[in-house]
Structure 1
Amino acid sequence: MDFKKGLNEQIELKISGGIYQRGILIDYEADLFVIYDGSRFIYIPMYHVHSIHFEKNSNDIVSNPENMPISEEMDSISFRKMLTHAKGLFTEITVLKNKSVYGYITNVLTDYIVFYSPVYKSMYISIQHIKSLIPYNNNETPYALAGGDLPVHHSNLPLARTFEEQVKKLTGKVVIFDLGEEEKKVGQLKSIKQNIVTVITARREEVYCNSRHIKTIHLS
């Protein structure tokens, strides 16, 4: 279905994790929605959209923005192009329900991005698990840090082409999966074989994770 006929109309999207995003529809392509909620442009990949509702009779109307989002600079948009154009911009990324990370995209690989966060430092985020992305203005920085207080430290670890191969490079290191939302997702990465990641927890227990469901990974 072509949703472009709904451009500039009020819309509500339900996305993975039971998250609702509301605003006006700014742009749409086969793999991407762009909405404006009154202050932010929100980029949402189509594969995380569960339902779409045009709110024609809504009393909570958002005005059209004066400044267009990243997609204005591109002849055509796609989720991957948007990730590339967002490199170097202060960005908010949602990967877990109601939990976002803030920082900068530094690299875009085949199926993951490298993300620098002042809190988590260098992170590897699976593209398929990015639920939404919000790029901020050029003069905005996370946590109101001055530019000199926000050096983007690039990891010395060579980058692999795929997320799974990058995870393998962390074998033997203490890692944190999915922002440490579960205690058993923190530990020494022992091995990864046939999409099964083995982690040894602080209590020396072996935990097995399906790599396809790992959203983020960073070092302790």
Structure 2
Amino acid sequence: MNNIIQSLIKEVVRVEVSGKRLINGTVIDSGSDVIVLFNGIDYVYIPVDHIQRFGIYDDNEEDIQAPSESPNITALENEKELTFREVLTQAQGNYVEIYVTNGQPLHGYIMSLMNDYFIFYSPIYKTMYISIQHLKWLIPYSKNESPYGMNNQTNLVQSNGQLLANTFKEQVEKFQNTIVVLNIGGDKSHIGKINNVEEQIVEIKGARTNSYYLNLDHIKTLHEV
């Protein structure tokens, strides 16, 4: 538990996360690797590894007030403090907003949680494989809310029975000779066929170009076309 962050409990702060994204909110809780903010509407769970800087937000132009209810995701009774992995575990099967890359929050739910990645179902992108190290924040939906006005009673899509690899690298290897979209589809995305994966290097074949090569550590999301 970080005593500096703990000293800011109930203070309104401004947090800059990786990608120069700013989040304002009241500090509600913190753990060894996560901080929890209330932005006036939602609880925002931010991994400490992605916090660039933070400070007390004196202006508070949004007039952010303290929450009237406790967050749904908290440390378990037998645990001393909340961890980001526990946040992901408790969020499984519930609607969430997550932010990974390209200025595009993703909406859906976590289907499965593996060693260093998770399987996410998005109504837009369908089944996605997302590296945990690139997840910037997670916002649980309220109990009566669903993305895109979907029927909240709709059964959650279940895994298609595919045998999942333990690590993100091994899962990427399973998509060799498959056309995929890497990093969602924004300016820094890559679309092509995975030809080969060796150590940290992924070889991609574009539509009409020669192969090019990516560092696996910078692949944030993967979904099949």
State the distance in 2 between where 1:55 and 1:182 align. Answer: 32
State the distance in 1 between where 2:15 and 2:72 align. Answer: 20
Match of residue 15 from structure 1: 17
Measure how far apart 1:198 and its partner are: 0.6
Matching residue within 183, 189, 194 for 2:194: 189
Q: TM-score, structure 2 length as denominator?
A: 0.91
Asked if the contact 2:102–2:188 (Cα under 8 Å) also holds between the matched residues in 1, the reply is no
| Structure 1 segment 1-220 matched on structure 2, within 5 A | 1-2=2-3, 3-56=5-58, 58=60, 60-72=62-74, 74-75=76-77, 76-147=81-152, 151-182=156-187, 185-220=190-225
Asked if the contact 2:180–2:193 (Cα under 8 Å) also holds between the matched residues in 1, the reply is yes
Measure how far apart 1:54 and its partner are: 1.2
Asked if the contact 1:175–1:187 (Cα under 8 Å) also holds between the matched residues in 2, the reply is yes
Are residues 97 and 125 of structure 1, via their aligned partners in 2, closer, same or farther at CA, if it must alter by over 3 Å?
same
SS in 2 for 1:191: strand
Asked if the contact 1:89–1:137 (Cα under 8 Å) also holds between the matched residues in 2, the reply is no
Are residues 109 and 63 of structure 1, via their aligned partners in 2, closer, same or farther at CA, if it must alter by over 3 Å?
same
Q: Which letter maps to 1:6?
A: L
State the distance in 2 between where 1:98 and 1:183 align. Answer: 11
State the distance in 2 between where 1:213 and 1:146 align. Answer: 35
| More helix, by proportion | 1
Q: Which letter maps to 1:165?
A: E
Asked if the contact 1:32–1:44 (Cα under 8 Å) also holds between the matched residues in 2, the reply is yes
What is the percentage of aligned positions where both structures have the same residue? 34
Are residues 104 and 57 of structure 1, via their aligned partners in 2, closer, same or farther at CA, if it must alter by over 3 Å?
closer
Asked if the contact 2:102–2:186 (Cα under 8 Å) also holds between the matched residues in 1, the reply is no
Q: What's the CA shift string for 1:34-75, capped at 9, x where partnerless?
A: 000100100000000010101246454311112221333623
Measure how far apart 1:216 and its partner are: 0.3
SS in 1 for 2:19: coil
Asked if the contact 1:118–1:150 (Cα under 8 Å) also holds between the matched residues in 2, the reply is no
- State the number of aligned residues: 220
Q: TM-score, structure 1 length as denominator?
A: 0.93
Asked if the contact 2:96–2:107 (Cα under 8 Å) also holds between the matched residues in 1, the reply is yes
State the distance in 2 between where 1:70 and 1:203 align. Answer: 49
SS in 2 for 1:190: strand
